[in-house]
């Protein structure tokens, strides 16, 4: 990470900083997963990781990639490569998600989680080194501000959906994600219970 990008990460009014903070969050959750010895606590961290990475991935597909395709040189090619990487990561995340509700599966999940993080780290490094700085340079202020607003306020699906459309029109992408979000809400209710916030349990572990 360059020094300039580190400085930007302190600015909450910068879409690059917000995206990078998402990256930091999932890395922190993975580190926390590996330092907590209790399987039940690892499961709660895993639930939060699945949610955080799914939301981040779907926001990129909905808000970031359509703009990348428009404004970057070779944008279409870059977006296709990014989507291919997304599908690889989300496929692994879906495999983890399908195992995560049974705490006895934690030992099975660990090698999948490790492989996911190898692929995800490569993807993040490419974004932070090349794609995000290029987006920052090429987006006008109005468009950048709208991207930031969408990223901070729009609700998206919370589980991995590697087979969801990622290369269609924005309207098609949004409708597919809206339907997925409805299903995810029911699944999350079963997973997280009736807590006020779906990630309360994981937050308690992170800050205990």
pLDDT in tens, 54-87: 999 999 999 999 999 999 999 999 999 999 999 9
d(CA 32, CA 16): 24
Global confidence as pTM: 0.87
167-192 pLDDT, tens per residue?
A: 888 899 999 999 999 999 999 999 98
Q: How far apart are CA 157 and CA 64, in angstroms?
A: 16
Domains for the chain: give ranges and CATH numbers: 14-206 (1.20.120)
* Tens digits of residue pLDDT in 122-175: 999 999 999 999 999 999 999 999 999 999 999 999 999 999 988 888 899 999
């Amino acid at each position: 990470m360059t020094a300039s990008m580190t400085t930007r990460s302190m600015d909450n009014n910068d879409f690059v900083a917000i995206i990078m903070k998402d990256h930091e969050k999932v890395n922190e959750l993975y580190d926390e997963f590996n330092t907590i010895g209790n399987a039940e606590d690892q499961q709660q961290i895993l639930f939060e990781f699945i949610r955080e990475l799914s939301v981040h991935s779907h926001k990129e597909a909905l808000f970031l990639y359509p703009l990348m395709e428009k404004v970057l040189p070779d944008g279409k090619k870059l977006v296709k490569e990014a989507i291919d990487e997304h599908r690889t990561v989300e496929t692994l995340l879906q495999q983890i998600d399908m195992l995560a509700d049974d705490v006895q599966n934690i030992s099975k999940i660990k090698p999948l989680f490790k492989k996911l993080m190898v692929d995800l780290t490569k993807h993040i490094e490419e974004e932070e080194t090349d794609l995000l700085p290029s987006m920052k340079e090429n987006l006008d202020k109005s468009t950048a501000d709208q991207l930031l607003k969408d990223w901070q306020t729009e609700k998206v699906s919370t589980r991995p959906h590697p087979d969801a459309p990622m290369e269609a029109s924005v309207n098609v992408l949004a409708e597919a994600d809206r339907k997925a979000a409805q299903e995810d809400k029911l699944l999350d209710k079963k997973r997280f219970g009736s807590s006020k916030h779906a990630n309360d349990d994981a937050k308690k572990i992170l800050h205990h």
